Amino acid sequence: MKKNIHIEITKTALGGTFGEPAIELICLANVGQDALIYQLGHDQFHVDNNSFAAAEKFRSELQLHTVAAIQTGDMHSAWRFFGKLAHTVQDFYAHSNYVELYLAKYPGQLPEDINPMDESLIHSDALISGKLYYPFEVITFFKGLPNRMLEMFPADSHAKLNKDHPGRIGFEHARQAAIYRTWLEFLGIKKMLSDDETTQFCGKNKERE
C-alpha cells in the first residue's frame, strides 16, 4: 500500500486509542518498512511471493518483541515493533487474493462487513500473494502506467494482484480488512498486558473499549 494509505489505515484503527506521540511513531515505523532497502529480499515484510509462513513468523516475532518492550518500559521500541507488525498485516490484504476469495464466498459483501480473519480463506490452498517479476516490476513504480503495459504481467504478479491504492479493484475491501486486522492485533497484544502496561503502551490515560 502507498505510504499515505498505511498511515490513514493505522490512524483509523488506532487513533482513538493511542496518544499522538505513540501513533506518530507507530506510523513512522509502519511506512519505514517500505524503504527502498526493504523492497528486495524481504518478502515477509510485505507478504509478497507467497511468503505467508515467513510473514506469519515475522508477525509473531514482532508481537513478542512488542510485549517484551512494553514490559521493560521501552515504549518507543514497542511502538516501532508494533508499527512494523501493522505494516505486514495490512499488506496481507493488499498483496494477496484474500479479498477475491472472500467475495467469491460471500458475494455482494460490503467493505465494512468484511471479516479479515476467515480461517477457511487464510488457510486455503487457493490463497496466493503477488509475485515480483523483477526487473520488469520496476516499471509499475511509476504513476500513470498504461493498462496495456499492465496486461503484459502474469495473472499471479504483484502488478496484477495488488490493491495498493484506490484505483485498484478491491481496494476498499482490502482497506477495511486492514483496519479491522490492525485493531485485532492490538487486542491480541493487550491480552498479554496488565492494565497499567496497556495504558503505558497506548500513551494516554483513556483507551477505547
Which helix or strand (DSSP H or E) is residue 92 part of? helix 75-95
* pLDDT of amino acid 45: 85
* pLDDT of amino acid 207: 39
* pLDDT of amino acid 189: 98
* pLDDT of amino acid 103: 97
Tens of pLDDT along 111-151? Answer: 999 999 999 999 999 999 988 776 666 666 555 555 556 66
* pLDDT of amino acid 206: 44
| Closest of 180, 193, 164, 173 to residue 47, by C-alpha | 164
Name every residue whose Cβ is closer than 8 Å to that of residue 158 and which is 6 or more positions away in sequence: 48, 95, 129, 130, 131, 132, 133, 137, 140
* pLDDT of amino acid 154: 75
Mean pLDDT of the chain: 89
- CA dist., res. 2 & res. 22, Å (int): 21
* pLDDT of amino acid 123: 94
Q: In angstroms, what CA-CA distances link 121 with 99, 115, 157, 162?
A: 9, 10, 20, 18
* pLDDT of amino acid 73: 95
Tens of each residue's pLDDT in the chain, 209 residues: 788 999 999 999 999 899 999 999 999 999 998 766 666 677 888 999 999 999 999 999 999 999 999 999 999 999 999 999 999 999 999 999 999 999 999 999 999 999 999 999 999 999 999 887 766 666 665 555 555 566 677 787 887 888 988 988 899 999 999 999 999 999 999 999 999 999 999 997 543 33
HSE toward the beta carbon, residue 31, CA cutoff 13 A: 15
- CA dist., res. 155 & res. 122, Å (int): 20
* pLDDT of amino acid 164: 87
For the record, the C-alpha cell of 184 comes out as: 485485532
